[in-house]
Structure 1
């Protein structure tokens, strides 16, 4: 089968479409004929050699497609079902992928939208869980218009929280539609937040990694009320929790998101799609950071 692979570290040009053996599911897993696979910033970090050092490597951790093989003990899923979820290992950017955690594709979504979900909603839900965001809380999301930020806004609003989201003025109408009260980032951000919430906020989530953790700590009233998914050095400096999957993943959101989508409380933002053969261009576009919404590879 065809899959995205690289045999040396470097720029997007090291990526190639290689022929590799077909994977098969272990107990509790399913294999899908992949129709779409998400592209994430971790992909180009992996390609650059900033993560695993073994070579060659496959890419992709989230996908959507049609079930064509069941592992032992799998129930509630049948051959031919549309599902989305996380790959058992890297390698979801391929014609076939094995999923370890999966759920039915919501009826309103196509494969591209479903493939855009797993990494963004898991990262957002994990951070909100760690913050303890719930009904009645005022929660600030710094970097609210990106893929993880927009997921965090909608998931927090679904929990009954009041959400304030930072973003450029061009994103403010989008943030309103997602359920956030928008605030411009940059100099004076804290004062603008206090104009909406004079007593500060109950919780703050940093998705942007824009060097504002000290301001978020001040707004939330303590480092224990702030989580970042994007600023590791700042988290160490300010005593803020840096959220990582090794601390426990919020996989519950994979099965919960369907109801939010079906009831109109969650919108998926796909920025651009690419054929599998154009994965290098997807990396160039993603690294340039000029597309709002998730980048997704489509597999025929």
Structure 2
């Protein structure tokens, strides 16, 4: 039975409902996918929390930005000639794929634009594939806008979280050294992915200076606390090399960078980097640590777990 989750209104998780409704047949330039795993992200509950800009999408709202699954149907090519091609090239019914940025990923099946669908590397399990691109593209953009390059030393706030872990791995591939803030319980994760852990809390700036005696070239904030912002400003002189994905008001007031998936420049960059991130994951260069999977009908429980702030890895729904 085909089902998907919707938010009946803006609000908290109590507005979510699992309803019976299958995805439509694919139209021109579209692909229908049987979902094998759906990524669960903080962005999912932020999406339903409150109305956005005037003219934005109104309830009922579909939930879920990224999935992995199997192609079950192809629409005609958009130009009416030839066959539909996905973002990574040719596709056939039965192919294993992943998709981002889409809508209604919390579902048994989805119909999505073919340009947002990519071949899944054979060795990448469905839950990991369904959690690769949102965190991975965010991390890649943070490194891009702060111009991180070989030989740099960077400070990553909340380095043991999903975006932080992807930053650590991508920074290592660039030849940069990463110092990552975390709780004591997160030190092992930071070290596993190539970072030097430092405990957040009083005295953080001094601990970072001890870990980076030659200075910090860039700061990447994934947590948005005043401590993270204050320490970044204290240690990085060039404010164009400080970026946050959370502390928008501080960024505007203090003159450093804020990025987000809804911003046109961010969307362009993140869409453009998808194929490279998939290549990296297929080559084993980019790992997606998993914490838990939940059945599709336990989406609310999965979101509550992610919202707790300490999942210790990514979470996926399995239809």
Quickly name the TM-score band, shorter chain normalised: over 0.9
Q: Give the Å deviation of 1:57.
A: 1.1
Structure 1 partner of 2:190: 175
Deviation digits for residues 69-109 of structure 1 (CA, Å, limit 9, x no counterpart): 23414142222111112144x21111112254232222222
> Is contact 1:85–1:254 with CA below 8 Å preserved after alignment?
no
Which of 140, 158, 163 is the aligned partner of 2:155? 140
Corresponding residue number in structure 2 for 1:8: 9
Counterparts of residues 242-257 of structure 1 (less than 5 Å): 242-245=258-261, 246=263, 247-249=265-267, 250-257=270-277
The runs of 5 or more residues in structure 1 that have no matched partner are none
Count of residue pairs brought into register by the alignment: 298
8 A Cα contact 1:203 1:226, kept in partner: yes
List runs of 5+ in structure 2 lacking aligned partners.
78-83
Q: 1:214 aligns with which of 230, 234, 247?
A: 230
Aligned residue for 1:291, secondary structure, equals: coil
Residues of 2 paired with 1:104 and 1:233: CA distance?
Answer: 38
User: SS of the residue aligned with 1:227?
Assistant: strand
For normalisation by structure 1, the TM-score amounts to 0.92
Per-residue deviation, 1:24: 4.2
Who is 2:80 aligned against?
Answer: none
Matched, 1:58 2:62: yes
- For 2:25 and 2:66, locate their aligned partners in 1 and report how far apart those are by CA, in whole Å: 16
Answering whether residue 311 of structure 2 is matched by residue 291 of structure 1, we say yes
What is residue 278 of structure 1 aligned with on the other side?
298
Q: How far apart are the structure 2 equivalents of 1:118 and 1:21?
A: 25
TM-score, normalised relative to structure 2: 0.87
Shift of 1:171: 1.3
CA contact (8 A) 2:137 2:277 kept: no
CA 158–25 in structure 1, closer or farther in 2 if over 3 Å, else same: farther
Contact 2:6–2:61, Cα closer than 8 Å, also in 1: yes
Runs (4+) of structure 1 moved beyond 6 Å? none
Instruction: State how far apart, in whole Å, the 2-side matches of 1:156 and 1:64 are.
Output: 26
Counterpart residue number, 2:92? 78
Distance 2:116 2:239 in 1: 32
Deviation at 1:217, TM superposition (A): 2.2
Counterparts of 1:1-300 in structure 2 under 5 Å?
Answer: 1-25=2-26, 27-51=28-52, 54-71=58-75, 72=77, 73-74=84-85, 75-88=89-102, 90-97=103-110, 98-99=112-113, 100-211=115-226, 212-245=228-261, 246=263, 247-249=265-267, 250-299=270-319
Contact 2:158 2:180 in 1 (8 A): yes
Cα offset for 1:28?
A: 4.3
